[in-house]
Structure 1
């Protein structure tokens, strides 16, 4: 039916009630795209690992296809998509529901505006039995395109349908499993300068963001990835990763926001991103007056509001980016093991990734020293930062975090996408 094209998208963000989800396979590159890999030892430097990885696939950096216009012939056919996120909305002065998803045939990102709710948003979810990562069908002839200038999002397709015409396939049926549509995942990590005493918690009011490390992959294809590091000041080249350096922190943050828009991830992951990294970035951008930085989701005009970054904050305080799922591996393993003990990133790597560790020759107390050193010093910091983005991605795939989160959310009987399900905390609170 609808086929993907290329050009650009432009997303943004939101804050909503306590409720959210997950993904399927992508394109696979041929054997010529990959270096011949040797086994990687647990203690091997990540710089050496990067050299052995597949070619750095810049296609995953985007930009994705821009808005698509579809015709009457397309709307006459049924459209099936896998639901990823949803939220209430006031559309043309009436209550509506926004359903974000990935189209089954074309893999285009879809926003569906469901009108004529006639009930509250939560009652709508329960009445329609809308569960995490379920499949939704729009029957042919029952929906139409939401045309400019009313576009609400930066998704490639926007459609409108009445509640009574929506078909939600039960997850107990053949629609049960997470679908085959490929979801793009961004794993990121930040490094900041640290207080002089090397003990206090960094504050966005006083300590700059020094680097942002990023790994991009797609579900269903773990062989392809894109690695890029954003650095404040110069950095020596890193084989196997792209280095983007900036003279000012504001320029670096603005460029990273554009990267998120172009990359257009369906799922954002990392270790402590929910209560630290995202909050820290948004606070720094506000202080530096970086325009529209907090518009990181897919819904136009939604600036994410955040609390002061603090790893001890309740999970419900974590920022939500509309249209993008989030999974913090710290919380995932905290929920899995029922304790915070052993949930530091290095401990998780050793336990679940065959004895892997964080980059051994760099410690957080060295941040200021390395930043103020040479380009080679900042390269050491960059390799450290990239590995801290790489480990969560490996954990996500190896430990089936997406599948397990979807299953847990469905078993709970709540009508939530999985990122909000994790936000509420299932068993205990910290």
Structure 2
């Protein structure tokens, strides 16, 4: 009997120890716990990824977290829309499946059929390896994460506030294709270094540089805390195609086709009397346009990268008449072009690949070229 009791006690201790060890590994680190719980409460983290917080995150998991966070943040704005506006939509819940029913792409991956990955590619967050492979199970390094965050958020944020060149000791260790992303992701306070720089007390002069750790793997809890940091900048709830064309639910109903960084708005015939664009035209006394054109023909006027609105002169009579004439017209902004009435599409947006990241606000866009920042201007209309 004593031997049996001793054996049972030993087994109990083994299982208890294993449970305690598993529980410790499963919990967020002390430094991340509060932010992780807050991000989960916001609904930004899929339930099946609410564990193993200290483990490295895979490319597939990262895509799922990013898409879930963006769609959930955007859903708040969708839910607050007036009922008459929502009544014209084919769906009122922004899910990967619903989204993919409206947006198609020429890109495909032979090693995954995860809809979150397809959406992440359409949004511009991630890309494949050029051979239609995504490698969903590969781990993400911190410099790769910087690229993915900047791919989507660069046009929504108004520039760097920290100087990575002066503050990071390992910037030269970043891969050539990731260096600019590391500079911007650190500068815009998305990703912090694992060691902070030390400054002299009486100035912002760096006494000891910090460390970004470009080649180490990003953990789940690090990815989650970055998502929270970005949400607090109020740029998580914008819906972008390929990281630069901002759309609303009204626009989404028309449908889009994606080919690389070319975004095409379809002429699908979608028409609703109560889109935000239609409501605005009524408020301006422009009923004659509402009576002549479908809502999608009028809503295309406001499908723009963030910061182009005032420059593009939305809803001026001259511009509306030019675009609604049905004739092909191209607005050239150097870093991208918008061509209306092209090849049966309402609009075709084409990003210039020769330029890097932008700095966008609600009122302007700046872009980096030849060693300095330039204010976006319309170069020509033809």
TM interval, short-chain normalised: under 0.3
| Greater RCO (Cα-Cα under 8 Å, separation 6 or more) | 1
Q: Normalising to structure 1: TM-score of the pair?
A: 0.23
Would you tell me which structure has more helix in proportion to its own residues? 2
Q: Normalising to structure 2: TM-score of the pair?
A: 0.25
Larger radius of gyration: 2
